[in-house]
Amino acid sequence: MTIINGNYKENKLDNGLVVALQNTPTQTIASKFRINFGSYHEEKGEEGMAHFLEHCLCTSGSEKYTPIQADKIRRSFGFFNATTTIGRTFLVGQMLTEEFENWLDYLSSQIFHPRFDVERVEGERKRVLREIADNKSSFIYEIDKAIDKVFYRGHPKQISTLGNEEVIKNVTISKLKEFYSCGFHPNNIEFIAAGGLPENSEELVKKYFGIAPKGNETRVKFPELKPLEEKAIFHRYAPERCNSENPQESSGQLFLMTACPGDGHPDEYAIRAMSLLLGGDTNSFLYQNIGLKKGLAYNVSSSYNGFYNCGELKINADIPAIKIDESVDAIFEEIERIKNKKVSEFEVERIKKIAKYNIAKSFETNEGHISAIELKLDEGFTPETHLRKYDEVTPEKIQYVANKYLPDKENGKYILYIGDPLKQKEVLTEMS
């Protein structure tokens, strides 16, 4: 199961670019290019430029290749995509082993020598503006924005990567180039590849990435999300969820969110185990009691996300619109159960087996190896570390984190969203 063996190689080029290569017995390669520069790095008046820049880098060609030539090269890969987050810009590709050098050539020219072709930039400007418009046209856009404001309270995760329409409409190519020059440097980048790598893969990476000059360091340690200071209830009229044939059988939606520590915190793995026990699968407390026994939900689950030092624990359920109060009470009953009654050793061992299974299963793909390498680069964790952290979880630790981070219904600090197709008011927000 290990990735840290004779088939894994990690080094840093003279210009600071981190290279992590994992050889696997496959005929394909998965690759991820991580630039530690994203929406968080935008100044006032630059909102959305990181996302717009990502679009332009992908399609506007390079000094070496015209946009049409770059299009042709890109079509030779099995998969290509790019994403912008608050802290990073990602370029992801999958290809046959024989296309690996073409991938390196394409990436290095697009990232380190972009063309910013006028016609392509204008085309991407229109696409980004359409993307923003699509997002704002969503029926839940305003409520999402209100919830994010209450939950994140100024934490960088509140930043919208899509940005501001006026910024995108008016930003010039020269301004885009200036913004690009602030962070797209090799010492801000990790290149990860896993698969049937050529024997000379290290030399090839150095050939294409090693000559780019260093620049400003833009890696960021994000602040910790603080515990919530209040309870907020968003009860929204949700006509889109109405059962047109039988309105009384309409399904409402609810989710419960609470803040907790992010990745790397000593309580992280106990929180992960608690979330899995609470609503991770069909054997979980929520599914067994709210779904099977009480028949209040077909879909009910809990999840944990600890990215960017921002821990979020979330419970989701689709529930009968005529039984919203009963459903909310049932969820809090399960929360109180895991807080007040220590879970069995059998349940904890079951969660550990699931963790081991998920790790083993992920290594059946090159993409899974990429994820494991990212965990090692970001937190110093190997899969063995990951499993050891789960092995350290005990029933006592699960009960401890449940009491520390799960909210009490009446006096707890949490966010409850209810999408109600039978409610006749647009939005009701209550806080205490």
Question: Does some domain include residue 219?
Answer: no
Residues 38, 89: contact at Cβ < 8 Å?
yes
**Best CA proximity match to 225, nearest among 261, 257, 256:** 261
Residue pair 390/359 in contact (Cβ under 8 Å)? The answer is: no
**How confident is the model over 190-245, as pLDDT tens digits?**
999 999 999 999 999 999 999 999 999 999 999 999 999 999 999 999 999 999 99
Average pLDDT, the chain: 93
pLDDT in tens, 277-295: 999 999 999 999 999 999 9
Looking at the fold, whether 297 and 401 belong to one and the same domain comes out as yes
Q: If DSSP codes are grouped into helix, strand and coil, which group holds residue 90?
A: strand
Model confidence pLDDT, tens digit, residues 290-329: 999 999 999 999 999 999 999 999 999 999 999 999 999 9
Residues 354, 426 within the same domain: yes
Say yes or no: 328 and 389 in one domain.
yes
The tokens describing 413, both together, are: 């600090």
What span, in angstroms and rounded, lies between the C-alpha atoms of 185 and 36?
9
Reported as type and span, the H/E element at residue 432 is none
Per-residue pLDDT tens digits for 110-139: 999 999 999 999 999 999 999 999 999 998
Query: Is pTM beyond 0.75 here?
Result: yes
Structural domain includes residue 169: yes
Count other C-beta atoms under 10 Å from residue 193's C-beta.
26
End-of-domain residue from the set 162, 178, 209: 209
Does residue 226 fall inside a structural domain? no
Residue 237 main-chain phi, psi, to 5 deg:
-70, 125
79 inside domain: yes
343 within some domain: yes
Report the C-alpha gap between 1 and 9 in whole angstroms: 16
Instruction: Tell me if 115 sits within 8 A of 39, measured CB to CB.
Output: no
C-alpha 36, offset from chain centre? 15
The answer as to whether 93 is a domain residue is yes
pLDDT class of 55 with cuts at 50, 70, 90: very high
Say if 2 falls within a structural domain: no
Tokens of 229: 């200071």
Same domain, yes or no: 288 and 385 = yes
Beta carbons within 8 Å of 61's beta carbon, 6+ residues apart? 67, 68, 69, 70, 110, 114, 115, 117, 120
Q: What CATH number is attached to the domain comprising 82?
A: 3.30.830.10
- Evaluate whether 73 touches 102 at the Cβ level (below 8 Å): yes
* Stretch (H or E) spanning 24: none
- Check whether 393 has a pLDDT greater than 70: yes
Task: Give the integer Cα–Cα distance in Å for 100 and 28.
Answer: 9
Residue 119 inside a domain? The answer is yes
- Rounded Cα gap, residues 106 and 388, in angstroms: 40
Q: What are 237's strand-pairing partners? A: 420
Q: Do 323 and 375 have their domain in common?
A: yes
Distance of CA 355 to the CA centre of its chain: 19
| Cβ-contact 222, 412 below 8 angstroms | no
- Answer yes or no: do 426 and 297 share one domain: yes
Structural domain tally of the chain? 2
For residues 198 and 331, state if they share a domain. no
Give the SS3 label for residue 95. strand
127 and 267 together in one domain? no
Boundaries of domain holding 394? 232-431
Residue 241 and residue 298 in one domain? yes
380 & 265 share domain: yes
